[in-house]
Amino acid sequence: MTTYAHDPVASTIVACWPTGDGAVACRAARVPKALDHSLARCTAKALSALSTHLWATYADQAAHELDPEALAAAVRHPNQPVGDLLRVMEDGCAETAHLLGRIVARAPGRAFRDAVAADVRAETDAVLDADDGVLTGRSAQAVVHPRCDAPAEQLLVAHALLHDDPLGPPAIATSVEPNAAAVATLRWLRASAALVAERVGHTVPDVVALAEAIGHEDLAVTRHVLCTLAGTAEEEVVLDLLQEAVLARQGWFVVCPEPAPDPERGHRAVSTVLDPLDPASCLLDGLVRGLHGCFRVWLDDVVARETPGTDPRLVGTARTAALRLRYTDEVRRSVRAGR
């Protein structure tokens, strides 16, 4: 979602949204000097709430139901109280737009209201663009909003990016819908792990353990998808992991359906391996870290076999680059072979 804030020094409302590798900010509206700071903050809060509703429709695949003109009109001409009565819209998105409109109506002049309405239209258009698969500009924030499917065209884009760089190019996190990006990356991670396991003569779980030991890091996501969920289809793995994290963020508790070993203790709680506040980025980052972990294990094995006694960290940049090219070629062949 786009987060809005009041900058009292510059007297502006600032909009900030994620892009997959950082955040972008821009001025959404200039605040009238005479407007009380509390009203400016209320405007920013209402804009953030409206953005939350808008991107929820994208995640729920209901963006086609949005009416950009109606939302902008609600900001310009909101429902106002008539005596003690106020018409409340059933749709949360529309009601938030009317609430925003009632706040900006208290500002002097029309410039502030028009600027806020224009930003609402820009945010709505960004959601609609993302729904059409256009992830540029403000709509790029769709990369942090997982959906329940992986569009075929987005899968093709993700696989093309991974074919160019099987170690996970930066664009996989900034230009591809997160579900599709994760499904494709998991496919390449499984192929990479199988390739390395065959080379070093160990199992895939052993490869993960070696990668963690070499890199001195905890590859929790990689270990979970390669070991715990081995044999489960990529689409199912990604959907289940993202849904678990989203439910956790919403305050739902996931419990094991099987009876607990000790009935007095009730059911066993199941935790998510993802960050509930940012599950899409956490999952993709974990998968990409797994790709690099597999390469480190492969590199250690190649250096140990071809130049015994050499520290893999000291083979030189040229040698490492050459080995990286060799490794990525082997991974491409492994993916084509359907491992």
CA distance 197 to 206: 8
Tens-digit pLDDT string for the chain (339 aa)? 999 999 999 999 999 999 988 899 999 999 998 899 999 999 999 999 999 999 999 999 999 999 999 999 999 999 888 888 888 888 889 999 999 999 999 998 899 999 999 999 999 999 999 999 999 999 999 999 988 888 899 999 999 999 999 999 999 999 999 999 999 999 999 999 999 999 999 999 999 999 999 999 999 999 999 998 998 999 999 999 998 888 888 777 656 656 555 555 555 556 789 999 899 999 999 999 999 999 999 999 998 888 877 776 667 788 888 999 999 999 999 999 876
Are 125 and 175 in a shared domain? no
Largest CA distance in the chain: 87
Are 54 and 134 in a shared domain? yes
79-to-74, 89, 105, 107, 206 alpha-carbon distances in Å: 8, 9, 11, 16, 63
List 6's β-bridge partners, or say none: 13
Q: What is the CA radius of gyration of the chain?
A: 25
| Residue 285 belongs to domain spanning | 152-336
Are 121 and 183 in a shared domain? no
209 assigned to some structural domain: yes
Give the pLDDT score at 153. Answer: 92
Are 118 and 188 in a shared domain? no
> Do the beta carbons of residue 22 and residue 143 sit within 8 Å?
no
Are 324 and 256 in a shared domain? yes
> Do the beta carbons of residue 234 and residue 183 sit within 8 Å?
yes
Give the pLDDT score at 260. Answer: 54
3-state secondary structure of 26: strand
Q: Which two tokens stand for residue 40?
A: 């400016």
81 assigned to some structural domain: yes
Are 246 and 311 in a shared domain? yes
Instruction: For residue 152, give the H/E element and its range.
Output: helix 152-164
Are 126 and 169 in a shared domain? no
147 assigned to some structural domain: no
Q: What is the count of structural domains for the chain? A: 2
Q: How far is CA 210 from the centre of its chain?
A: 28
Give the pLDDT score at 256. Answer: 60
302 assigned to some structural domain: yes
Are 315 and 256 in a shared domain? yes
Give the pLDDT score at 255. Answer: 63
CA distance 136 to 251: 32
137 assigned to some structural domain: yes
Are 177 and 309 in a shared domain? yes
Are 125 and 160 in a shared domain? no
Are 62 and 138 in a shared domain? yes
Give the pLDDT score at 31. Answer: 96
Are 191 and 332 in a shared domain? yes
Among 142, 170, 195, where does a domain finish?
142
54 assigned to some structural domain: yes
